[in-house]
């Protein structure tokens, strides 16, 4: 099967306990070895593990193999809860909304190389984690859009001090130590300013990046999630009615400060979602993705959904 542009259709590679000959995923991964796992992930971009006996009691043994040196979700903008250690809920964004495609922390100076998701409770319906080949997403955009983003992006965050829209700076950086936050931002080469109501951060970042192993260029930014047009007409208008763009909890422009046209944002969002493949969850499933080669999102759902996520730098 091929896509419209002739590229072979892509899907995550599925590995089952039956085919692996064992229900013990941690043991199977030990036998496979870290180097071979890295090769498989680079080759297939995303791996789904099914029909292994992964439970809340042994999932950390599996995560130790898939995402060693787990990272904290520092500077993350998604609402989520730390479950234990550096394992978090995947998102607490309301269930009726679609979460558009994105690479985790692509707006930041550093981002995780891998993400591992674990399904502890599957929803009654919907709730798939969507994944998209970042190179395909880049190719799907009109040349006019790709060219416009070639100069990069300017991300703006207004993080309140405990009262306001969005996340506070304390939640975002998992600390109430201002000096620790400043050191993090200094290493990130960001600009920042403390105000009476919180912290303002400005960062310049590229719109694409290349994979360190394959050299593949991929769409790698969160313009559509930081721009009001990516939220839908009603939510966008509500923001504009309350605040000026420079006061939004998060906002994005081109690197020189020029506003990004709404039509560009809508195209980016819609084509990413159109090219995405849904990974429907069953209890015990594990999904491992290369966070550079693959972007991810979430479909709306009914019922209760509990998917955990952990991140690592390799």
Q: 153: domain range?
A: 139-270
Q: Are residues 103 and 143 in the same domain?
A: no
pLDDT at 37: 98
Q: Is 6's pLDDT higher than 50?
A: no
Q: Is 234's pLDDT higher than 70?
A: no
How many angstroms separate the CA atoms of 310 and 168, rounded?
Answer: 22
Structural domains in the chain (count): 2
Q: Are residues 126 and 153 in the same domain?
A: no
pLDDT confidence of 243, banded at 50, 70, 90? Answer: low
Q: Are residues 258 and 149 in the same domain?
A: yes
CA torsion through residues 243, 91, 277, 302, sign: negative
Q: Are residues 250 and 288 in the same domain?
A: no
pLDDT at 237: 58
Domain membership of residue 2 (yes or no) is: no
Q: What is the pLDDT of residues 268-301, one digit of tens each?
A: 999 999 999 999 999 999 999 999 999 999 999 9
pLDDT at 72: 86
Domain membership of residue 6 (yes or no) is: no
CA-wise closest residue to 47 among 58, 61, 60, 62: 62
Name every residue whose Cβ is closer than 8 Å to that of residue 147 and which is 6 or more positions away in sequence. Answer: none
Q: Are residues 102 and 48 in the same domain?
A: yes
Q: What is the pLDDT of residues 52-63, one digit of tens each?
A: 999 999 999 999
Q: Are residues 63 and 156 in the same domain?
A: no
Domain membership of residue 215 (yes or no) is: yes
Q: Are residues 28 and 79 in the same domain?
A: yes
- CA angle 313-100-181, nearest 5°? 45
Q: Are residues 105 and 149 in the same domain?
A: no
Buried b (16+ CB within 10 A) or exposed e, 253-270: bbbeeeebeeebbbbbbe
Structure tokens at 81: 């809860």
Domain membership of residue 56 (yes or no) is: yes
Domain membership of residue 3 (yes or no) is: no
Q: Are residues 94 and 165 in the same domain?
A: no
Distance from the Cα of residue 228 to its chain's centroid: 18
Structure tokens at 254: 């081109």
Contact 95, 127 (CB under 8 A): yes
Q: Is 11's pLDDT higher than 60?
A: yes
pLDDT confidence of 34, banded at 50, 70, 90? Answer: very high
Q: Is 233's pLDDT higher than 70?
A: no
Q: Tell me how far CA of residue 186 lies from CA of 157, 193, 203, 227, in angstroms.
A: 15, 12, 11, 25
Q: Are residues 219 and 163 in the same domain?
A: yes
Q: What is the pLDDT of residues 109-156, one digit of tens each?
A: 899 999 999 999 999 999 999 999 999 999 999 999 999 999 999 999
Distance from the Cα of residue 142 to its chain's centroid: 23
Q: What is the pLDDT of residues 156-183, one digit of tens each?
A: 999 999 888 788 999 999 999 999 999 9
CA torsion through residues 129, 130, 134, 138, sign: negative
Q: First CA to last CA across the chain, in angstroms?
A: 31
pTM for the whole thing? 0.91
Q: Are residues 132 and 144 in the same domain?
A: no
pLDDT confidence of 84, banded at 50, 70, 90? Answer: confident
SS3 of 33, please? coil
Q: Please give the average per-residue pLDDT across 237-242, as a whole number.
A: 60
Contact 201, 109 (CB under 8 A): no
Q: Which domain-ending residue is among 254, 270, 286?
A: 270
| Domain CATH number, residue 262 | 3.60.130.10
Domain membership of residue 7 (yes or no) is: no
**Mean pLDDT value across the chain:** 91
pLDDT at 1: 41
Strand partners, 200: 158, 193
Q: Are residues 163 and 284 in the same domain?
A: no
> Beta-strand (E) ranges in the chain?
13-16, 46-50, 82-84, 87-89, 99-102, 114-121, 125-126, 129-133, 153-160, 191-195, 198-205, 208-210, 217-219, 250-254, 277-279, 286-290, 294-298, 301-302, 306-312
């Amino acid at each position: 099967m091929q896509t419209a542009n002739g590229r072979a259709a892509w899907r995550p590679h599925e590995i089952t306990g039956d085919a692996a000959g064992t229900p013990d995923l941690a043991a199977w991964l030990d036998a496979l070895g870290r180097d071979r796992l890295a090769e498989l992930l680079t080759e297939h971009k995303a791996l789904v593990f099914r029909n292994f006996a992964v439970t809340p009691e042994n999932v950390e043994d599996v995560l130790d193999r898939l995402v060693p040196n787990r990272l904290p979700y520092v500077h993350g903008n998604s609402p989520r809860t730390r479950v234990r250690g550096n394992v978090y809920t995947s998102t607490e964004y309301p269930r009726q909304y679609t979460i558009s495609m994105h690479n985790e922390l692509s707006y930041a100076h550093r981002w995780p190389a891998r993400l591992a998701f674990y399904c502890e409770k599957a929803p009654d319906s919907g709730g798939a984690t969507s994944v998209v080949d970042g190179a395909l997403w880049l190719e799907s955009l009109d040349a006019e859009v790709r060219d416009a983003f070639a100069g990069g992006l300017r991300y703006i965050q207004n993080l309140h001090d405990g009262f306001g829209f969005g996340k506070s700076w304390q939640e975002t950086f998992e600390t109430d130590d201002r000096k620790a936050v400043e050191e993090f931002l200094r290493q990130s080469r960001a600009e920042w300013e403390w105000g009476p109501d919180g912290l303002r951060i400005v960062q310049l970042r590229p719109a694409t990046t290349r994979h360190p192993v394959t050299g593949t260029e991929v769409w790698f930014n969160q313009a559509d999630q930081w721009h009001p047009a990516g939220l839908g007409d009603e939510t966008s208008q509500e923001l504009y009615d309350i605040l000026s763009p420079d006061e939004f909890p998060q906002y994005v422009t081109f690197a020189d400060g020029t506003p990004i046209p709404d039509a560009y944002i809508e195209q980016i969002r819609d084509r990413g979602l159109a090219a995405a493949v849904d990974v429907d969850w069953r209890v015990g499933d594990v999904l491992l993705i290369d966070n550079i080669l693959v972007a991810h999102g979430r479909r709306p759902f009914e019922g209760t959904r509990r998917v955990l996520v952990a991140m690592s730098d390799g």
